[in-house]
């Protein structure tokens, strides 16, 4: 039995207007620790009244927040960052229980990337400005204004990170937010809300409501919501954009991918294998930007596969709370079944299971899937075209640079891409041709807050992180100022 009482749990389902709010009368759902199936917490779905309350609180608070000096807004966000950093251990444990991701990941990545976003956007809040445009006798200037109430919806793979990647830029720009986490991982967004209040955020500026997709759908189509931001699948992205189009709300969509990782014959093979492993097995492969189509040059393919197998077989799967554990379970029964289905599909399609595919002796009932790799994969196979979102690497081979670029670009998603080569000119030449929002040369899956993150094609619209995010949480007002007389011919 796991003792969840040692964790700093949120005390109710929702967080509205600076307080925890419970809706004991609405549908209940459980937050489950994927490693053991134990219930961490029971929460309730937000009904329409609760959602309306959250949006109304956000609307009222936004007017005051937008008038708060930007330097003060930034200070509050940075204070929240400091609190998250101080509580990294407790928040990482809570995130591990909620997601099943190993503590050796959450301790270094999840609350960390959350507080870095708050620190970064807190730091630049006071530098968000318009510009002066000289028109000779007159002039104009632009005001970079907040959009209003943001309705944001998150996926389950990086819950605290997603909450802060959305809240930090939105709040820095003077917006307010109602955030709906995935019902699979509802806990840490509530802690973010609680911490923001502790840091001095005015009540109502950041609110959290719980629920399934239907609550997300109500939120994004709510008439008082001015801007929508989703992290989720391509299918959900299309539905959200359709709903937002009713009132032409601005959208930021961070969606899925099936990204290519290209390993040329001159690559440092150990580094390339590290990149491929991190880009397929980190967080049990539940990462949107994963390089799941690994194109390896024919001349090094055998060496690559045998060394990869050796390293993958040394990975430790097990208790996520053990610092030695490299990989935990998948997040849910549904996700685990989906991944195991894809492994069967790959075998049926004629790909060779190079290693993995099993449950690491944990049993079919567990949510563990071993690090897995298929070889002899062809571009037309479903495992090479569809996002699996689990620890399943597809290895394809190639001979020519132009050929691999065309194959890498063949899908209608384009979140990320990677290239391993020691040839500096080839590295830059190839990434210039790749249709992806983020490319890495000689590494994979790094997402520092200073760098824009987002997709092209069906992987999304807009960018998170960096100064680019400011563009998506502000709107420009142009102000023309006449310094002379009105020139009127009649």
Task: List residues binding ligand NDP (CB under 6 A).
Answer: 153-157, 180, 182-183, 212-213, 216-217, 220, 231-233, 236, 239-240, 254-256, 288, 387, 389, 415, 455, 460
CB atoms within 10 A of CB 299: 13
On whether the CB atoms of residues 392 and 383 are closer than 8 A, the answer is yes
Active site residue 488: no
Could you confirm whether 467 is annotated as catalytic? no
Question: Least separation, in Å, of the C-beta of 305 and ligand NDP?
Answer: 26
Q: Which two tokens stand for residue 232?
A: 């989720």
Element (DSSP H or E) covering residue 396 = strand 392-398
Task: From the candidates 93, 116, 194, 464, give the one annotated as an active-site residue.
Answer: 464
249 is catalytic: no
Q: Minimum distance between the CB of residue 195 and ligand NDP, rounded to whole angstroms?
A: 21
- As to burial, measured by CB atoms within 10 angstroms (0-12 exposed, 13-18 middle, 19+ buried), residue 477 is exposed
Cβ atoms 87, 115 nearer than 8 A = no
Give Cα 423 distance to the centre of its chain: 31
CA-nearest of 206, 156, 166 to 14 is 206
Decide whether 225 or 273 has the Cβ nearer to ligand NDP.
Answer: 225
Task: Tell me the two tokens of residue 325.
Answer: 């554990």
Distance (Å, rounded) from C-alpha 449 to C-alpha 34?
A: 29
Q: Which residues contact 409 (CB under 8 A, 6 or more apart)?
A: 433, 434, 435
Two tokens at 90?
């407790």
3-state secondary structure of 14: strand
Residue 188 or 231 with smaller CB distance to ligand NDP: 231
83 versus 367: smaller Cβ distance to ligand NDP: 367
Q: Is 232 helix (H, G, I), strand (E, B) or coil?
A: coil
Shortest CB 161 distance to ligand NDP, Å? 9
- Assess whether 166 carries a catalytic annotation: yes
Rounded least distance, CB 459 to ligand NDP, Å? 6
Which of 101, 105, 166, 370 is an active site residue? 166
Shortest distance (Å) from residue 204 CB to ligand NDP: 22
- Say if CB 356 and CB 370 are below 8 A apart: yes
Q: How far is the CB of 472 from ligand NDP (least distance, A)?
A: 13
Would you give the end-to-end CA distance of the chain in angstroms? Answer: 86
d(C-alpha 422, C-alpha 400), whole Å? 16
123, 83 contact by CB (below 8 A): no
* 141, 177, 160, 97: CA torsion to nearest 10: 180
CA atoms of 361 and 449, how far apart (whole Å): 38
Q: What is the DSSP-derived secondary structure letter of residue 185?
A: S
Residue 465 has φ and ψ, to the nearest 5°, of: 65, 165
**Shortest Å, Cβ 219 to ligand NDP:** 7
Q: How far is the CB of 109 from ligand NDP (least distance, A)?
A: 13
User: Is the Cβ of residue 244 or residue 354 nearer to ligand NDP in the bound state?
Assistant: 244
Dig out the tokens for 143 from the structure: 């005001």
Strand partners, 20: 15
58 vs 240, beta carbon nearer ligand NDP: 240
State which residue has the least CB distance to ligand NDP.
216
Q: How far is the CB of 228 from ligand NDP (least distance, A)?
A: 8
Q: For ligand NDP, give the closer residue by CB, 180 or 472.
A: 180
Residue with Cβ nearer ligand NDP (219 or 312): 219
Give the strand pairing for 138-146 and 132-135: antiparallel
Q: Out of 183, 218, 254, 387, which one is annotated catalytic?
A: 254
Strands (E), 217-292: 227-231, 250-254, 260-263
Closer residue to ligand NDP, CB minimum distance, 237 or 427: 237
Alpha-carbon span 191 to 413, nearest angstrom: 33
Nearer to ligand NDP, 122 or 216 (CB): 216
| Cα 418–Cα 423–Cα 426 angle in degrees, nearest 5 | 60
Q: Which is nearer to ligand NDP, 141 or 212 (CB)?
A: 212
> Pick the catalytic residue: 150, 164, 173, 288?
288
Minimal distance in Å, beta carbon 473 to ligand NDP? 16
Catalytic residues: 166, 254, 288, 464
């Amino acid at each position: 039995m796991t003792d969840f009482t040692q964790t700093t749990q949120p005390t109710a389902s929702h967080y509205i207007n600076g307080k925890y709010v419970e809706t004991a009368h609405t549908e209940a759902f459980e937050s489950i620790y994927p490693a053991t199936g134990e219930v961490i917490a029971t929460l309730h779905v937000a009904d329409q009244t609760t959602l309306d309350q959250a949006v109304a609180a956000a609307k009222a608070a936004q007017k005051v927040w937008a008038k708060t000096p930007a330097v003060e807004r930034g200070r509050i966000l940075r204070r929240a960052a400091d609190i998250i950093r101080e509580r990294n251990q407790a928040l990482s444990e809570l995130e591990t229980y909620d997601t099943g991701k190993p503590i050796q990941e959450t301790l270094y990545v999840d609350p960390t990337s959350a507080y870095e976003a708050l620190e970064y956007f807190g730091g630049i809040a006071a530098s968000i400005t318009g510009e002066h445009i000289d028109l000779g006798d007159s002039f104009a200037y632009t005001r970079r204004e907040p959009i209003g109430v943001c309705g944001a919806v998150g996926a389950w793979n990086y819950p605290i990170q997603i909450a802060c990647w959305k809240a930090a830029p939105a709040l820095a720009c003077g917006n307010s937010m109602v955030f709906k986490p995935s019902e699979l991982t509802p806990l840490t967004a509530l802690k973010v809300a609680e911490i923001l209040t502790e840091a001095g955020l005015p009540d109502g500026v950041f609110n959290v409501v719980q629920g399934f997709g239907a609550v997300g759908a109500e939120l994004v189509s709510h008439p008082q919501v001015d801007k929508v931001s989703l992290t989720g699948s391509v299918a959900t992205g299309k539905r959200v954009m359709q709903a937002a189009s009713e009132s032409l709300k601005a959208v930021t969509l961070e969606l899925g991918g099936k990204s290519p990782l290209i390993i040329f014959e001159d690559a440092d093979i150990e580094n390339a294998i590290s990149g491929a492993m991190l880009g397929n097995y980190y967080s049990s492969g539940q990462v949107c930007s994963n390089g799941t189509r690994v194109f390896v040059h024919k001349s090094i393919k055998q060496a690559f596969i045998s060394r990869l197998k050796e390293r993958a077989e040394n990975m430790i799967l097990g208790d996520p709370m053990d610092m030695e554990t490299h990989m935990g379970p998948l997040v849910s029964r549904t996700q685990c079944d989906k991944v195991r289905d894809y492994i069967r599909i790959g075998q049926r399609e004629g790909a060779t299971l190079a290693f993995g595919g099993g449950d690491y002796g944990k049993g079919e009932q567990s949510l563990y899937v071993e690090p897995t790799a298929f070889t002899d994969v062809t571009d037309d196979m479903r495992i090479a075209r569809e996002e699996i979102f689990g620890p399943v690497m597809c290895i394809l081979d190639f001979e020519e640079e132009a050929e691999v670029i065309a194959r890498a670009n063949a899908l209608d998603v384009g979140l990320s891409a990677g290239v391993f080569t020691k040839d500096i000119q080839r590295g830059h030449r190839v990434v210039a041709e790749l249709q992806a929002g983020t490319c890495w040369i000689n590494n994979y899956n790094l997402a520092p807050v200073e760098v824009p993150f987002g997709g092209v094609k069906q992987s999304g619209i807009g960018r998170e992180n960096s100064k680019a995010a400011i563009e998506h949480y502000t709107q420009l007002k142009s102000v023309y100022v006449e310094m002379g007389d009105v020139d009127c011919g009649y």
